[in-house]
Chain A
Amino acid sequence: MSLLHLEIKNLIIDALGLEDIGPSDIGNEQTLFGEGLGLDSVDALELGLAIQKHFGIRIDADAKDTRVHFTNVSTLAAYISARQAVA
């Protein structure tokens, strides 16, 4: 697990108030929304906001592939790395 992956997992736990869960309980490829971790649409908004604040990037909520980037921790890590490289 890379540092970025760990950072994202901690952000998910803190921003969404996931008591009783540690970073090691979230798999890199585990689906975050619906199935898998079981997050919902309010979590998606909250996590989007937390990522923007924490990593200083902008996320276009209406962009077609935003949903794909939020699939799991690995896709988020790839997306955040790419956005940070641009900025």
Chain B
Amino acid sequence: MIQFNIDSWRAWAPELARPNDWAHRSKTDRERSSSTGEQPDVSFLPAMQRRRLSRLARMVFHAAWPLAEGQPPLPFVYVSRHGETSRTFSILNDLARDEPLSPTQFSLSVHNAVIGLWSILRADNSEMTALACEGDGLQYGALEAEALLAEGAPAVLLVVAEEQPDAVYDDWIDDVPFSYATAFRLCKGHDWTLSRQTRTTHDEPYTWPHALNLIQVLSSQSSFCQNQGKGHLWTWQRNA
């Protein structure tokens, strides 16, 4: 069991810019939003700096940047299960056509590319971590963030983001109903309790993204949500 405060949060998904939109988002809203390819605004960065940001990176920057403004340097825990799958897919296509690979695509296809760019563009050399933990990433990210708070970090940015991959992945990737980026600024406190129970049933874990469940709780002022992972049942409880 760990406790912390969620000082501030932001989320982005296609057509969902305002916090209020999230409260009304239904879980049946599964859609292939990447067909629209809508990208969030990152015009707060000069053009020369944003030119290498993938759509996923733009989503992360758009969601997290305002949470870092006016703050001291902040450790960053970045969580994504599928990461830069779009870049990898594009590289694989080039390989299949026997074409030379784009150095930019290649160098930015790694999982920690986003935090590398974040660190450079914010000139912040705090500890930054990129995680991929199946469907439980939100919670393992929160554990990591809490550990950083315990080590004395004033606050920690926790970002969970997924880009809906190309349709060829549909048979394998079923936990990204639409592209989304969620960002939470965590600090010490007791407003929230996150606890973990071992699951005893063998049902398939629920594929609705855990981070979106938490956003729903945050935006609706409800006090509680449970996220089923592969081996654990995670409970988020609002205490204040």
Contacts and interface: CB of A to CB of B under 8 A. Distances in A.
A46 B107 CA distance: 11
B47 A19 contact: yes
B152 interface: no
Contacts of B99: 53
Contacts of A34: none
A42 B51 CA distance: 12
Contact of B52 (A17, A49, A53): A17
Nearest to B46: A20
A66 interface: no
A42 B104 contact: yes
Nearest to B104: A46
How extensive is the interface on chain B, given as a class? 10 to 19
A57 to B, nearest CB: 13
A52 B100 contact: yes
A17 B99 CA distance: 20
A45 B100 contact: no
What does DSSP make chain B's interface, helix, strand, loop or mixed? helix
B26 interface: no
A20 B47 contact: yes
Nearest to B105: A46
A57 B47 CA distance: 30
Interface residues of A, number: 13
A46 B104 CA distance: 7
B181 to A, nearest CB: 20
Nearest to A44: B103
Interface string A21-55: 10000000000000000100010011001001100
Contacts of A52: 100
A16 B50 CA distance: 11
B47 A18 contact: yes
Given A16-B51, A18-B51, A46 B102 contact: yes
B51 A17 contact: yes
B48 interface: yes
B103 A46 contact: yes
Contacts of B103: 42, 45-46, 49
Contacts of A38: 48
A28 to B, nearest CB: 20
Interface string B48-90: 1011100000000000000000000000000000000000000
Interface of A: 16-21, 38, 42, 45-46, 49, 52-53
10 contacts: A18-B47, A18-B48, A19-B50, A19-B51, A38-B48, A42-B107, A45-B103, A46-B104, A49-B100, A53-B99
Given A16-B51, A17-B51, A20-B47, 12 more contacts: A19-B47, A19-B50, A38-B48, A42-B103, A42-B104, A42-B107, A45-B103, A45-B104, A49-B100, A49-B103, A53-B99, A53-B100
